[in-house]
Chain A
Amino acid sequence: MRISDRRFALFLMTPAALFLAVFVAFPLFRLVADSFFKISPIAGGPRDFVGLDNYVRAFASEAFTGAGWRTLAYTLVVVTLEFALGLGMALLFTMLGRSSQIWRTVFMYPLMIAPIVAGLLWKFLMIDNFGLIGTLLHQAGILSNPNQIGWLSDPNIVLYSVAIPDIWLTTSFMCLVLFAGLQNIPGDLIEAARLDGARAPAMLFRIILPLLRPVIAVALVVRGIDAARAFDTILIQTNGGPQSASETMSLLIYRTMIRFGDPGLASAMGTIYLLAMLAVAFFAVATIWRPGKDT
Chain B
Amino acid sequence: MRVAEKTTHDAGTSATAAAAPSARPAVVRPRRRRGVNREGLEAGRRGTRTLLWILLAAAMVLYGFPFLYLLFTSFKTPIDTIAVPPTILPREWTLENYTNALGRNGVLASFINSIQTAIISTLLSLLLAVPAAYGITRYKTLSGRIFIMAALVTRMVPPVAIGIPLASMMASMGLSDTPIALSIAHTTISLPLSIWLMASFFEAVPKDLEEAATVDGCSRLGALWRVVIPVVSGGIAVTAIFAFLASWNEFLFALLMTAIRSQTTPVVIANFQTQFGLDWGSMTALAAVYSIPVILLTLLLQRKIVAGMTLGAVKG
Tell whether, in the assembled complex, residue B131 and residue A5 are in contact, meaning their CB atoms are under 8 Å apart: no
How many residues belonging to A are interface residues under a CB distance threshold of 8 Å? 103
Residue from B22, B59, B157 in contact with A89 in the complex, judged by beta carbons closer than 8 Å? B59
Q: Is the CB of A231 within 8 A of B63?
A: no
Give the distance to chain B from A134, nearest Cβ to Cβ, in Å.
Answer: 9
Q: Is the CB of A9 within 8 A of B291?
A: no
Name which residue of chain A comes closest to B203, CB basis: A295
Q: Which residue of A lies closest to B82 (CB)?
A: A130
Assess the A10–B85 pair: CB atoms within 8 A. no
Is A198 among interface residues, defined by CB-CB distance under 8 A? no
A218 adjacent to B150 (CB under 8 Å): no
With A13-B144, A20-B151: A129-B84 Cβ-Cβ less than 8 Å: yes
For the complex of A and B, the 10 pairs showing the least CB-CB separation, nearest first, are A12-B135, A187-B40, A9-B139, A16-B132, A114-B249, A27-B165, A30-B165, A270-B161, A180-B310, A27-B162
A205 CB-CB contact with B under 8 Å = no
7 pairs of residues in contact across A and B, judged by CB atoms under 8 Å:
A10-B135, A27-B162, A105-B302, A114-B251, A132-B86, A177-B309, A208-B41
A27's partner among B25, B73, B166, B266 (CB-CB below 8 A) is B166
CB distance from B226 to the nearest CB of A (A): 16
1/0 per residue, CB under 8 A from A, across B71-86: the answer is 0010000000011111
Q: Does B101 contact A (CB under 8 A)?
A: no
**Does any Cβ of A come within 8 Å of B30's Cβ?**
yes
A10 in contact with B159 (CB, 8 Å): no
Establish whether residues B70 and A100, one from each chain, have CB atoms under 8 Å apart when the complex forms. no
* Chain B residues with a Cβ closer than 8 Å to the other chain, count: 106
State whether B128 touches A113 (Cβ < 8 A). no
Across the interface, which residues of B come within 8 angstroms of A273, CB to CB? 158, 161
Are B269 and A6 in contact, CB atoms less than 8 angstroms apart?
Answer: no
Q: Which of A165-193 contact B (CB under 8 A)?
A: 168, 171, 173, 176-177, 179-182, 184-188, 190-191
Residue contact A91 to B41, C-beta cutoff 8 Å? yes
B205 at the interface (CB under 8 A from A): no
Given contacts A121-B67, A124-B69, A231-B252, 6 further A-B contacts (CB under 8 A): A11-B135, A13-B143, A13-B144, A92-B59, A266-B164, A274-B156
